[in-house]
Amino acid sequence: MEHRWGMAIDLDRCTGCEACVAACHAENNLPLSDPAEAEKGRAFHWIRVDRYYEGEFPDIRMKYMPVLCQQCEDAPCEPVCPTYATYHNAEGLNVQVYNRCVGTRYCGNNCPYSVRFFNWFEPEWPEPLELQHNPDVSIRPGGVMEKCTFCIQRIQRAKRDAKAEDRAITDGEVQPACVQSCPAEAMTFGDLDDPESKVSRLAASGRATRLLEDLGTKPKVFYLQRAK
Amino acid sequence: MDRRDFFKILSTASTGVMTGACGKKVDRYLPLLVSDSEITPGEEAWHPGVCGQCEAGCGIIVRVMEGERVVERKGELFRERIATIKKIEGNPLDPVSGGRLCARGQAAVQGLYHPDRLRGPMRRQSPRGHGDFALVAWEHTLSEIAGKLQHADPSRILYLTRPQAGTRALTAARFLKAIGAPPPVSFELADFPLELKAAQEVYGWNDLPVYDLRNAVYALGIGADFLGGWASPVFYARQFGHFRQGRTNVRGKLVHAESRFSITAQSADQWVPLRPGTELSFALALGHLLLSEKLARAAAPPQVLEAFQAVDVAEAARVCGVAEKRLRQVTRELGESEKPLVIAGASIPHTNSLAAVKAAAFLNVLLGNAGKPGGVLPPAVDPTGSRPAYAANALAQIERAQFLFLDGVDPLYTLPASTGVAEKLARIETIVSFSPFLNDSAAYADLILPDHHSLESSAAVFTPVSEGMAVATPFVHPLYDTRATEEVLAELAKKMNIEFVAATPKSAMEKMLPADQIWDAVVRQGGFRTEASREASKPPASTTLGTTPATFFGDPSQYPLHFLPYRSLQFDDGRSAHLPWMQELPDPVSSAMWSLPVEIDPQTAAKLGIKNGDRVRVESAYGKLEAPAYVDPAAAPGVVSMAIGQGHRHFGRYASNRGANPLSILAPAWEQETGALALGATRVRLARLGPGGGLVQFAVVDREAGPWGHR
């Protein structure tokens, strides 16, 4: 395995501004919802910002927590897919192959983080809104499951660039769209197998935790808790 | 040129060498405007520009790639290959954005490719406000406008615009001067008239102060929602990240005093909930304590010291609704910090907010941090001096106007109905709007002359954060038969036989550029920065500090609740509501999509039997609105707030006739010294109308309680 991609999110920096959410929509051609579909719980946000009230008025604080696919090492979504549409790739990513997906939604049912989204409706972009589409990312048809890919197209691109220049990918060279956009610089992406990478160092920090760690899913997203 | 090459260019730009798409060295600059016929499929190019979504003026880079659109020629449909914009990111070289960008800035691309963008000049076909327009030809329309301008009384020509300094403002000012009309006037919620006036009267600065939060150790926000819709959200979020976790062994502590649990208050280590309109008492009490506890490090003008000394701290604490112990604790932490900073502003102005912002700014003077690292820094000098002035009497000017230009503003949406703005607009002889969309005010216009989208235009923009200017040049051809407003003004001048030259980025910046600086290099980097011209600190020797409490509109026995409409990160003052990504971006707190709720505290909600998602009526003495309810555990008792953004009558398919506009029910109340709209001065009452208010939430926690269960 060349790399093991992971992310660290510093909740002490995160302000809940949702720049990451918009970045993800722009990068990954997420389908537009409408109020009726959204009301049925069918809107798409591969990354969302959960909020937790801490304390009671007037001594109240808010904790914001961006939640995306945790790219679990032992992913509950993978073994239940009858068509191998969701599988573990060599770099530890939970990859979704749209062409194989037949829409059983077992994976979504099994995901404890609610980060998988089913295309309940055919995506529509009234002309000329489709001009904004990122050509690096395919449009998903109705009836298939989709989710955060850690911007695999950006990873591939970095690999190609590095290969063309006959060098290794440098730390920080790959940035998923959410990480790239974050104004508070709360998010860090990199190779967890490289002990010198920034993400590895953050993951080893005393503030690092993982979401629903007790489920044994071994997520590759680390949350650095807010300092007291 | 891909993104990595873009960075290479930035490092080699001054030498005039660049790297081409395949890593080959090319000794010339490629033209910035991507020719549709020359674009290579699959190849990307990144170009620098300036974000036009708000006045912060973030430097951006834009990804341009091949696209295809269908055009109609002589009744037949053709596919046409064009250069299209795929993504917008922050320009790493820009001192404001630093390579980052907020949600709204990224969604700007949806404004460019919005299905309801106006495709050419439009003429009104029905009574004002109805919104029926038909396409017309440029030539004839411009001649007609020129004719009307020639016959209008020049003193009754009014140009309403945004408060941004740059080539647009410069061009408008020149045009108006040439035709003998008064200079352009800014009159909107993002004007910061209070903060600007306070900066002048406290520090002697002519623009917004720059808070060096990055290097501060203890920061106290008073009334300024600097991580939300205030001043420069990306700039301050970047500073905040560093303030918190960017330094070894130093973690900045943020305490925030505001009446709402704003996004800044949410990120703070401590929120000090003030009763609405008591920021002044809070700041005065802190000043008093800094002096009495001998924690002040520098002197303030005598009248200000007197005002601080006259404060009864126990009484102030009672007025603010904050324990006196808490006031003393905050003062001690602030006064004893190695690098204390007070961030002063009025996100939701009250009738006495100038005094409040000044009193808060004088705390920085007492702490001696003006001009020092970690303190409040002077703004850069605007090389063009073109920031349109805020006009407190703009309403009176609208009333007497014969000819009105609307440039980037929507007064019908942003002003309360009680100001009579609709009637005033209806009486104006001629209204010309430059809006790229049909919005509420444009629906009152006789003619709409749609401006290019900011991504299709050239501009130089000044921001007080940094010296120099950010520069945008067009990278794609205009999608429709639109025209840059600068160009329209130039053509009008020509038709009127008046001498006039529109300002270009190059002409606006000529004076500041060193002789060896190549213009191409400036364009390639997205602007030019220098470290030469920060304003000198020349605080006026004497200034007074008002101590009048805020006044509220509406009889408290009938309207017991305070109403606080606020500018959110998604919608600002409502100008981004037409973008579908912003509509479906969950509100950070209520998680509302495609709707904006009224935020109600649990006590009030329980008393009225209101539950999350119920339909409620908010009623002031000046109007009423209906919206879904969100019971916010962090709302202060008796304070009802609502984000501005919905309730447009006309604003494209995603925003029209959706939800309610909280501004519409406000009292015609103004900050007493500056004439800024006092957003927080209206009292309201609430009534539950029934279940099913149309609150659409994304949050799983809340949604699981609904009938649909798990996704």
Residue B151 CA to residue B157 CA, distance in Å, equals 11
How many residues does the structure list for chain A?
A: 228
State how many domains chain A has.
Answer: 1
What are the structural domains, with CATH classification, of chain B? 3-112 (2.20.25.90), 122-189+391-523 (3.40.50.740), 210-377 (3.40.228.10), 561-703 (2.40.40.20)
pLDDT at B191: 81
Give the number of A-B residue pairs with CB atoms closer than 8 Å.
213
Confidence class for position B397, pLDDT limits 50, 70, 90: very high
Rg (CA), chain A: 18
Q: What is the pLDDT of residues B175-224, one digit of tens each?
A: 999 999 999 999 888 788 999 999 999 999 999 999 999 999 999 999 99
Minimum distance, in Å, between the CA of residue B72 and any CA atom of chain A: 13
For the ranges B76-80, B422-426, B535-539, B589-593, the lowest mean pLDDT is seen at B535-539
What is the separation of C-alpha B623 from the centre of its chain, rounded to a whole number of angstroms?
A: 26
CB B269 within 8 A of CB B252: no
CB B263 within 8 A of CB B225: yes
Q: Which residues pair with B222 in a beta bridge?
A: B257, B344
For the ranges A163-172, B3-12, B494-503, B545-554, the lowest mean pLDDT is seen at B3-12
DSSP for B397-426, written as a single string: HHHH-SEEEEES--HHHHS-GGGTHHHHHH
CB B45 within 8 A of CB B458: no
**Amino acid present at B303:** Q
Residue of B nearest to A51 (CA): B589
Range of the structural domain that residue A85 is part of: 5-224
Contacts with A41 from chain B: Cβ below 8 Å? 703, 706, 708, 711
Contacts with B22 from chain A: Cβ below 8 Å? none
Structure tokens at B473: 């040049």
Minimum distance, in Å, between the CA of residue B260 and any CA atom of chain A: 11
DSSP state of B214: G
CB B355 within 8 A of CB B266: no
Residue of B nearest to A115 (CA): B711
HSE value, Cβ hemisphere, 13 Å, CA-based, for B88: 28
Contacts with B86 from chain A: Cβ below 8 Å? 132-135
Task: List Cα–Cα distances, B580 to B69, B101, B324, B595, in angstroms.
Answer: 20, 18, 46, 12
Residue B12 pLDDT more than 60?
A: no
Confidence class for position B342, pLDDT limits 50, 70, 90: very high
CATH number at residue A134: 3.30.70.20
Summarize the confidence of residues B366-370 as an average pLDDT.
95
Q: What is the mean pLDDT of chain B?
A: 91
- All residues at 6 or more sequence positions from A10 whose CB lies less than 8 Å from its CB, including other chains: A186, A187, A188, A202, A207, A224, B241, B244, B245
Structure tokens at B628: 């879904």
pLDDT at B18: 35
The closest CB to that of A127, out of B115, B636, B711, belongs to B115
- All residues at 6 or more sequence positions from B278 whose CB lies less than 8 Å from its CB, including other chains: B259, B319, B320, B321, B549, B550
For the ranges B138-147, B258-267, B463-472, the lowest mean pLDDT is seen at B463-472
Q: What is the pLDDT of residues A45-89, one digit of tens each?
A: 999 999 999 999 999 999 999 999 999 999 999 999 999 999 999
Residue A208 pLDDT more than 60?
A: yes
CB B348 within 8 A of CB B259: yes
Judged by CB atoms closer than 8 Å, whether chains meet at A26 and B106 is answered as yes
Which is it for the CA torsion B295, B300, B304, B306, positive or negative? positive
What is the separation of C-alpha B414 from the centre of its chain, rounded to a whole number of angstroms?
A: 12
Q: What is the pLDDT of residues A89-123, one digit of tens each?
A: 999 999 999 999 999 999 999 999 999 999 999 99
Interface test with A, best of B249, B696, B700, B708 (most A CBs within 10 A): B696
Confidence class for position B701, pLDDT limits 50, 70, 90: low
Judged by CB atoms closer than 8 Å, whether chains meet at A129 and B115 is answered as yes
